[in-house]
């Protein structure tokens, strides 16, 4: 269908949290989190994704977080900048900036709230890809955006030389299997859900863009690495071992539980920006109990 495209990364990329102190981005803590991830064998870092609370970062903060991350990582692993928006012109501006400051790839979420038609999605993603100089991962998360990427849309977008991959967080393994069957030669697929890493790897996936990696980077990397090394049972065993923890990080909407978990481990404040807020007491108690089971606190 198209010329062979390069793979951005294989393994586990962390969708890294953005630490705040007194409602300001804490770059010292962000730098420490990045270093911890790299020390923990993370295969790539996604900055300003959903988990990074991109929707409540100011434009200035969004750009500075991307620039800071690129500088801090210094080429050790790929940096993937979340630059999607429900305003395509803004997504283009942010994407150009991320390319200019050295991001290795872009993550483009489907435009949220507008509920674009399939034709609108194709036109929007194509406009950003045309304006970009770096490869692009599409992000399909209909539970958050109100619109999903259908197979015909994927097939059309796969023709673009810079649209190289998909983060699939629809949760629909049957639809994801069809995606592999129809576009597997022209789109890499990453799991967007930590409870589906091994199922998606088994269909030909390249890895995961992970919330869980914030808490346990090495173990999440190892789920993927074992698979690629041919240790299928070891990979599946790790997936199942950490399933309860992965699920606990979704007791409330992401990134509320993972940021709470990182706070409990001493890596950042619990602070989030409204409309996100601290966990309900009963959910936090359940999260603490699970973290104690895994000896994380």
Say which CATH number the domain at 203 has. Answer: 3.20.20.70
Is 280 a domain residue?
no
Is 124 a domain residue?
yes
Model pLDDT, residue 143: 87
Active site residues: 139, 167
Is 274 a domain residue?
no
Is 2 a domain residue?
no
Is 99 a domain residue?
yes
Model pLDDT, residue 152: 97
Is 273 a domain residue?
no
Is 296 a domain residue?
no
Give per-residue pLDDT as tens, 91-120. 999 999 999 999 999 999 999 999 999 999
Domain that holds residue 177: 11-231
pLDDT over threshold 70, residue 80: yes
pLDDT over threshold 60, residue 2: no
Model pLDDT, residue 1: 40
Burial bucket for residue 279 (CB in 10 Å: 0-12, 13-18, 19+) = buried
pTM for the whole thing?
0.97
Looking at the 3D structure of the chain, how many domains does it have?
1
């Amino acid at each position: 269908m198209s010329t062979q495209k390069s793979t951005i990364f294989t393994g586990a990329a962390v969708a890294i949290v953005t630490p705040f102190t007194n409602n300001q981005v804490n770059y010292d803590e962000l730098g420490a989190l990045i270093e911890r991830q790299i020390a923990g064998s993370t295969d790539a870092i996604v900055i300003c994704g959903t988990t990074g609370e991109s929707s409540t970062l100011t434009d200035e903060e969004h750009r500075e977080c991307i620039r800071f991350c690129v500088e801090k990582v210094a080429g050790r692993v790929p940096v993937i900048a979340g630059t999607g928006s429900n305003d395509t012109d803004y997504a283009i501006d942010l994407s150009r900036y991320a390319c200019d400051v050295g991001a290795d790839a872009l993550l483009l979420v489907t435009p949220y709230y507008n509920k674009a038609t399939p034709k609108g999605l194709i036109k929007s993603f194509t406009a950003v890809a045309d304006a970009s100089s770096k490869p692009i991962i599409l992000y399909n998360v209909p539970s958050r955006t109100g619109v999903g990427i259908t197979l015909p849309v994927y097939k059309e977008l796969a023709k673009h030389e810079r649209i190289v991959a998909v983060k699939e967080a629809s949760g629909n393994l049957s639809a994801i299997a069809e995606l592999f069957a129809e576009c597997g030669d022209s789109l890499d697929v990453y799991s967007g859900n930590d409870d589906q890493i091994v199922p998606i790897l088994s269909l030909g996936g390249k890895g995961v863009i992970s919330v869980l990696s914030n808490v346990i980077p090495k173990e999440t990397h190892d789920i993927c690495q074992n698979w690629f090394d041919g240790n299928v049972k070891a990979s599946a065993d790790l997936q199942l071992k950490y399933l309860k923890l992965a699920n606990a990080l979704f007791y409330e909407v992401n990134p509320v539980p993972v940021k709470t978990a990182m706070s409990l481990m001493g890596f950042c404040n619990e602070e989030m920006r409204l409309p996100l807020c601290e966990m309900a007491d009963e959910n936090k108690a359940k999260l603490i109990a699970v973290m104690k089971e895994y000896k994380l606190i």
